[in-house]
Amino acid sequence: MARRIDDRLARLRQRRFDDSLPVMQEQYEKRSTNKATRYALGAMQQVDPRSTQISHEEFEKVERNLLEGLDKEGLQPKVRFQGSVPINVHTRGVSDVDLLVIEGLYLRIEPCEGGQKSYLPYTGKGSLCDDVLYLRKKSKEVLDRRFWGAKVDGSPAKSIQLTEGGFRRKVDVVPSHWYDTATYQMTLNDTYRGIDVVDQYTRESFRNYPFLYMDKINSKDRETLGGAKMSIRLAKNVRNDADGDIELSSYDIGSLMFHCPSEYITSLPARDLMVLSGTDRWFDELASDMSFAMSLETPDGTRKIIDNVDRWTGLTKLSSELNALASEVEREIIGPFGTPSYDRGEIRKRLNDGQIPLLPDEFGLGARF
């Protein structure tokens, strides 16, 4: 691999622990003495539970202060958690805490017959943009007052960013507006509620369905016995450690893995390398067929995943990085006296056949995937 594996292991280990937590050896580090294999195993794992808990604590801190402050301004928005953290595909040091603050005085709806929910007359500021930008203005004022020692950055087009001043994670506060789809009106299931966000500079609105996205990823993960989230974490960590930038967001990577054939990335005990093999195979197939790759949509159906040159270039770069990692692990499997293969299919077969023994406590509830 272009970057020395020792460096990649160190970077991975640094990301996986919170600075305030004691450093300890993790299960994946005990399962193999081979460096590339240890990197692959570690890249698939969820981060330390305490580190994840800190992200939730930062979310709750901002939620509490924001709702208290906005209530005094006569606003009663809803707050929701979105992004990588609530579905447990986040990587420490890279993933932010994404907090939606959602205008709720007036609900925009998709016309339908038989909707069960009652909707109040319009009581907003005049337009969707006006509503969201007013909520943004008041949210910024509250955050400035409540977190006066932190950096409250209102310059991003769609969010307000909180850092420093005691924040252990960067928190992105995203002012937005509900959009109630016909399916939501019939089911009253929040999975099907849409969100409209607004660019403060262009006043352009963007609709997405973050709860549907998270639900789809969770369903894919259940279908693959945990393999889907392992593959997303793997691809994200490889992206993070690559030489040069790879223009694929965490959302893009999750969306691409959603479309991966489930049999490629199904997780089986002691067969973790099958997930590496399947992730490498899927990205290789996508990089070999541009028209097919560019036809795939995000799980919420709002856009094509690969919709510009930068994302296509990012996909091909990430495919190359995964190829390199798979080859390094294959060399470790065959040992110093084996003959490395240059056939991608043979490399993946060796990864699929390779078994890494589980540790005793991984047979019980302590297993971490």
pLDDT in tens, 27-39: 666 677 788 999 9
- Of 253, 260, 255, the residue nearest 299 (C-alpha): 255
pLDDT tens-digit readout, 232-254: 999 999 999 998 899 999 999 99
Q: Tell me, what's the pLDDT at 111?
A: 76
Q: Tell me, what's the pLDDT at 147?
A: 96
- Of the listed ranges 11-15, 312-316, 323-327, 334-338, the least confidently predicted one is 11-15
- Of the listed ranges 25-34, 56-65, 255-264, the least confidently predicted one is 25-34
Q: Is the pLDDT reported for residue 116 higher than 60?
A: no
DSSP assignment letter at 249: -
Domain range summary for the chain, segments of one domain joined by +: 5-46+214-363, 50-212
Q: Tell me, what's the pLDDT at 368?
A: 40
Phi/psi region, residue 269 (left: phi>0; alpha: psi -120 to 50; beta: rest), is beta
Q: Tell me, what's the pLDDT at 363?
A: 47
Instruction: Please say whether the beta carbons of 311 and 290 come within 8 A.
Output: no
pLDDT band at 115; cut points 50, 70, 90: low
Mean pLDDT of 143-153: 96
Q: Tell me, what's the pLDDT at 79?
A: 96
pLDDT band at 367; cut points 50, 70, 90: very low
The domain made up of 50-212 is a member of CATH 3.30.460.10: yes
How many Å apart are CA 273 and CA 355, to the nearest integer? 8
Q: For 311, what's the count of Cα atoms within 13 Å in the CB-facing half-sphere?
A: 19
- In this structure, how many other beta carbons lie within 10 angstroms of the beta carbon of residue 20? 9
Q: What is the pTM of this model?
A: 0.89
Give pairs for 68-76: CB < 8 Å, separation 24+.
69/141, 69/142, 69/143, 69/145, 69/146, 70/101, 70/135, 70/138, 70/139, 70/142, 73/138, 73/141, 73/142, 75/103, 75/105, 75/135, 75/138, 76/104, 76/105
Q: Is the pLDDT reported for residue 364 higher than 50?
A: no
Q: Tell me, what's the pLDDT at 282?
A: 98
- Of 209, 184, 177, the residue nearest 116 (C-alpha): 184
Q: Tell me, what's the pLDDT at 314?
A: 97
Q: Tell me, what's the pLDDT at 230?
A: 97
Query: pLDDT exceeding 70 applies to what percent of the chain?
Result: 86
**At residue 78, what is the residue type?**
K
How many Å apart are CA 277 and CA 84, to the nearest integer? 23
Mean pLDDT of 130-145: 95
Mean pLDDT of 138-150: 96
Q: Is the pLDDT reported for residue 219 higher than 60?
A: yes
Q: Is the pLDDT reported for residue 369 higher than 90?
A: no
Q: Is the pLDDT reported for residue 292 higher than 90?
A: yes
Tokens 């209102």 belong to residue: 154
pLDDT band at 57; cut points 50, 70, 90: very high
Q: Is the pLDDT reported for residue 106 higher than 90?
A: no
- Of 32, 24, 3, 10, the residue nearest 358 (C-alpha): 32
Mean pLDDT of 64-86: 94
Give the pair of three-digit tokens for residue 353. 């056949």
The set of residues, in sequence order, having a beta carbon less than 8 Å from that of 353 and lying 6+ positions away, is: none
How many Å apart are CA 222 and CA 226, to the nearest integer? 6
Tokens 């992730």 belong to residue: 279
How many Å apart are CA 100 and CA 112, to the nearest integer? 26
The mean pLDDT value of the chain amounts to: 88
Mean pLDDT of 166-186: 92
The set of residues, in sequence order, having a beta carbon less than 8 Å from that of 202 and lying 6+ positions away, is: 157
The residue with greater pLDDT, 128 or 350, is 350
Q: Looking at the chain, which runs of residues are DSSP E strands?
A: 78-82, 97-109, 151-153, 160-163, 171-180, 193-198, 205-208
